[in-house]
Structure formats: structure tokens, C-alpha cells
Amino acid sequence: MASEPEEFDTSRRAALNLSSINHTFATFKRIPGTEKALKAFQDLALGKTEKPLLLCYGGVGNGKTHLCEALVIELNRRGIFTRYYTFGEIIRTLRRTMRDDSRISPSDLLERYCQARTLVVDDVGMGGSGSEWEFGHLEEIVSERYRFHLLTVMTTNRDIKELPERVVSRFSDPAVATLVLNSGKDFRKNRA
């Protein structure tokens, strides 16, 4: 296997919050049902679409996290700084800002998520309680990013009917967004 460029060494992997620098489009396990999701992520990563919003939904174990990390790697290779987040990380970070000893206010942190050039969030609806507070912040982030057409990618293994209607509506706008079902089966169950 060819060595990765220096910019993707261990410290860079950690800075981008990636689990592996080997999660590229080339190493993605193409199982039946993942074709549309793979194409949507690649088109966004390679600048082949004018639609800056992407919501990918589907069951567990079909490669949504791998695709998010491949997107982050490719965007960074193209000089577009992007970091990987999970929904749970964002919620925990927002909660920490509410403590008295926090160095940043909740509104300042929320503004960073709303205004970042790119935002890749995996596992929306997981790692939290699914409370109105959590989904209210998600709505605020998505609404602001939709308004300014900022590159925004989110994944979930929840049924999209369980997500806030305002969030799904924005990702359903064919003028600026792609909503794609990853119907691949759980590859972990088929490991030898």
C-alpha cells in the first residue's frame, strides 16, 4: 500500500477527528445498495455538484461513517479544511459550554457550527437523548447553513421521519440539496 501524504500523518488524522486515514473512496466496500450514496459523496468531494447540502440516511453498518471520513480526506486534499464530527460530540460540546468555567459561550460555539465553511456530522440523532433541546440546535445549525448554502453533510441511521421536519425539508430542496438513502446491508454481519 502506498504511503499517505505527510499531511495525513497521525497528528493530522487526530486534528481532523478521523478514525482512519485509510477511509478513502478507493477503500470503500461497495456493497449492493450503497451506489447512490457513494456517488453523492464523491460528487460533493470532487466539486462535481452545485448542491452544497447532503443528507444520507439508512441502516447501520453500510458505510456512512466511512463515506464521511473519505469526504473529509478528499476535501482536505483539495485545500478545503474540513473536520469530522459526530452528532453526539456536538451535543456534548454544546453542553460543556454551559458550565461556568467554559471559555466559550454556547451562542459563540453554535455560531461556529452555523458559519463554518464546511460541516460534516455523522450519526445525527445518536449519542444524545433526541430531546427538543438537541433537535432545536440541529434545526438552528441546518437552517443557517441552508440559508447561506454552506457545504453541509449529515448522516443518520434513524428513519428520517424521526428527524425534525424543518431539517428534512431543507435537505429535500432539490435546488441546493441531495437526500440519499443508503440501503446497503450491515457489512459487519458478513465479515469472515
Which pTM was predicted?
0.91
Question: Which H helix or E strand runs over 71?
Answer: helix 64-77
Segment 95-105, tens digit of pLDDT: 999 888 889 99
The answer to the question of residue 16 being in a domain is no
Please state, as a whole number, how many other Cβ atoms lie within 10 Å of the Cβ of residue 145: 22
The answer to the question of residue 190 being in a domain is no
The answer to the question of residue 165 being in a domain is yes
The answer to the question of residue 12 being in a domain is no
What is the tally of structural domains in the chain? 1
The residue segments making up the domain with residue 175 are: 34-183
> Average per-residue pLDDT in the chain?
92
Residue 162: which CATH number? 3.40.50.300
pLDDT of residue 102: 86
The answer to the question of residue 87 being in a domain is yes
Q: Which one, of 6, 3, 51, 58, lies nearest residue 36 by Cα?
A: 58
Give the pLDDT mean for 183-190. 83
Given a cut of 60, whether residue 123 has pLDDT beyond it is yes
The answer to the question of residue 3 being in a domain is no
The answer to the question of residue 116 being in a domain is yes
Provide the pLDDT confidence category of residue 167 given band limits of 50, 70 and 90.
Answer: very high
Segment 72-102, tens digit of pLDDT: 999 999 999 999 999 999 999 999 998 888 8
